[in-house]
């Protein structure tokens, strides 16, 4: 079977495998945007810069993991990073966020996590 590369996605002429890889890439992009938003809020509101590393942990772990073409537990890592990002919003940044946004984040995180179980 011939391997084909689509960007950095490795798939073996199997459309289901391609969809799985694209969903992992989409999850990694979501984690990236969430980390960027959290990093910006911490820079604007918190004088203690040791918290700047926290939003970058999910970002770096997801992209390093996906970049090395490891084929096990990618979905679990993205789920953990999505939940960790929600935890950061609730524990570190919640005093500057409105209730509707926190409720939306819980719902969106739940739906994103649920999509990996379907």
> What DSSP line would sit under 2-38, residue for residue?
--EEETTEEE-S-HHHHHHHHHHHHHHHHHHHHHHHH
* Of residues 65 and 91, more confidently modeled: 91
Residue 5 bridge partners (DSSP)? 10
Predicted pLDDT of residue 108: 93
Task: Give dist(CA 39, CA 52) in Å, integer.
Answer: 6
Q: Is pTM beyond 0.85 here?
A: no
Locus of tokens 């739906």: 111
Mean pLDDT, rounded, of the chain: 79
- Summarize the confidence of residues 100-114 as an average pLDDT: 92
Report helix, strand or coil for 64.
helix
Predicted pLDDT of residue 107: 95
Predicted pLDDT of residue 52: 82
- Summarize the confidence of residues 65-91 as an average pLDDT: 81
Give the pLDDT band (50/70/90) at residue 2. Answer: very low
- List the chain domain ranges: 4-115
């Amino acid at each position: 079977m011939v391997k084909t590369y689509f960007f950095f996605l490795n798939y073996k002429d199997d459309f289901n495998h391609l969809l799985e890889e694209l969903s992992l890439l989409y999850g990694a992009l979501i984690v990236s945007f969430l980390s960027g938003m959290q990093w910006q809020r911490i820079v604007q509101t918190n004088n203690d810069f040791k918290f700047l590393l926290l939003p970058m942990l999910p970002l770096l772990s997801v992209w390093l993991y996906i970049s090395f073409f490891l084929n096990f537990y990618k979905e679990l890592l993205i789920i953990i990073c999505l939940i960790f990002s929600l935890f950061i919003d609730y524990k570190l940044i919640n005093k500057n966020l409105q209730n509707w946004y926190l409720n939306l984040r819980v719902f969106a995180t739940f739906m994103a996590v649920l999509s990996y179980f379907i």
